[in-house]
Amino acid sequence: MKSTAALAMAHSVLGAGQEPVEAMDNRKMLAYVGAYTIAVDGGANGEGIYLFEVDTQTGELSHRVLAAKTPNPSWIVIHPSKKYLYAINEVADFHGASGSVSAFAIDPATGSLALLNTVSSEGAGPAHMSLDASGKYVFVANYIGGSIAVLPILAGGSLGTAVDSHRNIGSVGSKHATSAPRGSFAISGHDTPHGHMIAPDPTNKFVLATDLGQDRIYVYRFDSATGKLTPSEGTPFVSLPSGDGPRHFAFHPNGHWMYALQEEASTLAFFHFDPEHGSLTVQETISVLPSGFAGSSFAAEILVSPNGKFLYSSNRLHDSISICSIEANGKLKLIGEAATMGDYPRHFGVDPSENFMYVCDQRSDCIATFRVHRETGMLSFTGQYAAVGSPGIITFLQLGK
């Protein structure tokens, strides 16, 4: 769900507001948290991008500092070189009626951030971004207007203007999700096309992009030399049931199974992906909510465990993490859930040690920490919270490696 009016609030990109950061041992793990500064489907109690130290033994987040004061950094990614961090600015007033993407240099000793530059996302309200495997391009999906763009990464880590962009037109789905639970009023964005996620497949030959308003997942062939995207000859797009609202997707480590999470229906669709032709073939769809659930909930984030055995997804309003086992044939079985110990879990992430999961409870202004039991897939709350106003995303960086 998005608020166009809120996105239209006047707000300009600010420089990196750095606070003193003590030099950290190069064995330390860092976490960056992007927090909402302008209300979009929740509060606006953050100031930008926060930096934490991560205790890999206990899961504790500590020594919080504001690493960059920037508007609505609701999605952040770290460059493969670990020298740069990129953040979308989920706004609609950059140079008129656009959102933006900001590039930051990462201090290798402290993890602190220095702003390099900010460029247009070629659409309003960017909701997601990713990098190609070579680290040469940024892909960005713009929620308002339903567009995607490819931005080049220049020498020194700064961003260039878009080398390609595409805008989806027409064919929006129904207001109510076809597959929603009984009594659901989980109504989001089926007024116009709304780009929600964009990311390359594991081969880096194709780029997939969801449009929540159109109930479609688009597939593009990616030219890594030019950054250009062309509709896949195998599957230009696949359609989900009307109104279900595809939001985010994740690939299995084998590169052949892809899972898509529908925001308004609270369902997971399992696809076979052909990495040679870019085609998607649906295999099954299941609910991520408990059997018998009735009412409204909005699915948000999806993650496949590094060992490929489990799939996790977050449920806003139901306020839970759903846990699925991935069977030998790729199909899913809902095996449990964990209460998120807070309100409106948006993004969540597992640290590189794979021992802890961190859940961004957006409306509770906190991040809750869970221990991951890798053999069973289950989660147990550690009792630890980190205070962050309106957290939207968390990502990790190991210093010195």
End-to-end CA gap in the chain: 38
The answer to whether 219 and 235 have CB atoms below 8 angstroms apart is yes
Give residue-wise pLDDT tens across range 111-168: 999 999 999 999 999 999 999 999 999 999 999 989 999 999 999 999 999 999 999 9
* 285, part of any domain: yes
Q: How many CB atoms lie within 10 A of CB 136?
A: 14
* 334, part of any domain: yes
Amino acid code (one letter) for 219: V
Tell me: pLDDT of 378 over 70: yes
* 161, part of any domain: no
**pLDDT value of residue 20:** 40
* 168, part of any domain: no
Rg over alpha carbons for the chain, rounded to the nearest Å, is 19
* 129, part of any domain: no
**pLDDT value of residue 235:** 87
**pLDDT value of residue 27:** 67
* 270, part of any domain: yes
| Structural domains in the chain (count) | 1
pLDDT band at 396 (very low <50, low <70, confident <90, very high): very high
Contact partners, residue 313, CB within 8 Å, separation at least 6: 261, 268, 288, 299, 300, 301, 302, 303, 321, 322, 324
Q: Rounded to an integer, what distance in angstroms lies between the CA atom of residue 376 and that of residue 354?
A: 13
Burial per residue of 197-219, b for 16 or more beta-carbon CB atoms within 10 angstroms, e otherwise: bbbbbbeebbbbbbbbbbbbbbb
The CATH number covering residue 232 comes to 2.130.10.10
* 106, part of any domain: no
Give residue-wise pLDDT tens across range 161-201: 999 999 999 899 999 999 999 999 999 899 999 999 999 99
* 296, part of any domain: yes
The region that residue 355 occupies, defined by phi over 0 for left and psi between -120 and 50 for alpha, beta otherwise, is alpha
Tell me: pLDDT of 4 over 80: no
* Residue 329: domain span: 178-185+199-339
